[in-house]
Amino acid sequence: MDLKVLATGLAIGLGAIGPGVGVGLVALGALQGIARNPEVAGEIRTNMLLAIAFAEAIAIYSLVVALLIAFVL
Amino acid sequence: MRQFLKPRTIVIVLAVLLIMGGSAVLLRVPMPAIVLPPEPVACIGGHLAEGPHGLECEGGFPLTNSMLGTLLADISLLALVFFGLRNMQLVPTGLQNLVEAVIEAGYGVAEDVAGKENAPKFFPLAMTIFLFVLIANWWELVPGMEAFGWLVEVQEKGWEKAPLLGDNIYMLVREPGHYVVLPWFRTATTDLNLPLALALITMVYVQYAGFRALGLGYLKKFINFSSPMDFFVGVLESISEVAKIVSFTFRLFGNIFAGTVLLFVMPFLIPLFAPLPFFGLEVFVGFIQAFIFAMLALSFLSTAVIAHDHEGH
Amino acid sequence: MAGLGINLIYLIAHIINFLLLLWLLKRFAYRPVLRMLEERRRRIEEGLKAADLAREEAARQRAELEKQLEEERRKAQERIAAATRQVEELREKILAEAREEAERIIAEAREQAQQERERILQEARRQIADLSLLLAQKVVGESLDEKKQHQLIEKFLAGEL
């Protein structure tokens, strides 16, 4: 097996750990907020999606690296 | 729990499992050839020729499969709008109702995020991004979208071809060989050029809106010599503008590309029933990615037009 | 870049495509729909306002009608009251007249009776006096002359005897 394949898997796999935890924390906070006052659920949901998008950006950088390793190098 | 133990339920579950297992053995679907760049499938004013990486366009304007996918999304979106708004009634019915409800809901979100004053300026861009990306993403779900195309000979990692209809129409079978399908249509957002184009347009418009609202004062956000701390923050802001383009591009591309690959790899493993839940997931992902792209564009636009004073952030 | 598939020609093609789509949607979808929504909002507002106005107008008219009706009722009542009063007055008058007439007749009758009585009494006295004189003459045997007799009678009648 090529080392490139290993590098690709590690790049996306390791890089997804942090954002995974981050997205979970964002959802945790949002759900607690919704449980405390459900009347602003819509607003919280929109902001949660935005915050998840920012947390996800970190995973996207590792995706970029993985894609670069797999297809460019 | 009791209802899952009914004989009928058990029989259905066993039948489904049997069909899944049987299909994995009998219906052998070839693994897709995962190619990152879009491939030209036609040439305007030139001709297709075999190059080192599949087909290439020699002279003329190359028409790639992702461009055809883009056109498909364009046409379906415009058709929806055209038939919806062909003769607008004051009391809406059917498709007009749908189109109006979507646009009205989008305008409501734009007003919430950007405020009453800026909403009319930012709404068209955000709404177009949302609608276009949504339709483009959902084309991914149409069966056969990326299954028809030219057969191309490759050196390795190909499959064997078998005659299907007549002499010129073949299908790939799961025997190692030298052929891959070069699809005529490709989900538009799985081509990096499209998300990058959207991200560039959005970020250029963000800068334009900032200059328009704050004049040259907008530059203070990036170049600020009033204190070393502010200078450093300005440098970081400049970098983050570029990073926004990258994350915009790869968020959309990564999610939809991964979804497409998933939808192709699942039938390779188990052809029947197993891909079904993933179609549901992809409906959701396609919507969420379109929504997030438009929402981020809106929120970047509305933060760009707010004066950046020394209030500490 | 080429490995990722980023190609300047494709990029420009996508940018042009998107800008064209943006223009088309802005021109043929957002503007008419937002205008239509505004129009509908305005129409509904107008309709509500018109309905309010109509309701107010109706209420005003009803109040006016009720006022008129009240006025009519009051007038009729007044007229009835006036008529009743007139009738009452007329009755009173007729009654009073009748009573007066009756009283007058009774009084007249009483007067006549009194006079009659007086006259009869007078006559009776005279005759009694004549008779008593005649009796006395016969008793006394001497006749008084005519003149003296009358004097006597008068005296008697005047109650002097």
Burial class (CB in 10 A: 0-12, 13-18, 19+), B31: middle
Closest CA to A57 of B137, B100, B245, C115: B245
**β-pair partners for B294:** none
| Mean pLDDT, chain C, integer | 88
Contacts of A61 in chain B (CB under 8 A): 246-247, 250
pTM check: above 0.80: no
Backbone φ/ψ region at B191: left (φ over 0), alpha (ψ -120 to 50), beta: beta
Q: Give the CATH number, domain containing residue A52.
A: 1.20.20.10
C155 Cβ neighbours under 8 A, 6+ residues apart: C161
ipTM over 0.90: no
**Candidates B192, B239, B250, B296, partner chain A, best to mutate (most A CBs within 10 A):** B250
Nearest CA in chain A to C1: A72
pLDDT value of residue C74: 95
| Mean pLDDT, chain A, integer | 89
Nearest to C6 among B90, B99, B196 (CB): B196
User: Are the beta carbons of B194 and B188 closer than 8 angstroms?
Assistant: yes
* Contact assignment for A64 to B246 by CB distance below 8 Å: yes
A68 touches chain C (CB under 8 A): yes
Nearest to B251 among A43, A56, A71 (CB): A56
pLDDT along chain B (313 residues), means of 10: 77 92 85 84 79 71 90 94 85 86 92 89 94 95 87 81 82 84 90 94 94 87 84 89 91 90 87 89 92 93 77 43
* Contact assignment for A50 to B251 by CB distance below 8 Å: no
Q: Which domain holds residue A34?
A: 3-71
Backbone φ/ψ region at B157: left (φ over 0), alpha (ψ -120 to 50), beta: left
Distance of CA B266 to the CA centre of its chain: 19
Mean local confidence (pLDDT), C99-119: 92
User: Are the beta carbons of B105 and C34 closer than 8 angstroms?
Assistant: no
A67 touches chain C (CB under 8 A): yes
**Amino acid in position B72:** L
CA dist list (Å): C121 to B81, C108, C128, C156, C160 = 136, 19, 10, 14, 18
Closest CA to B99 of B139, B138, B127, B137: B127
Residue range B81-101, pLDDT digits in tens? 999 888 888 778 888 889 999
C4 touches chain A (CB under 8 A): yes
Distance in Å, alpha carbon of B225 to nearest chain C alpha carbon: 35
Residue range C30-44, pLDDT digits in tens? 999 999 888 888 999
A71 touches chain B (CB under 8 A): yes
pLDDT value of residue B308: 62
pLDDT value of residue C86: 94
List, as ranges, residues 11-70 from A with C-beta within 8 Å of B: 43, 46, 49-50, 52-53, 56-57, 60-61, 63-64, 67
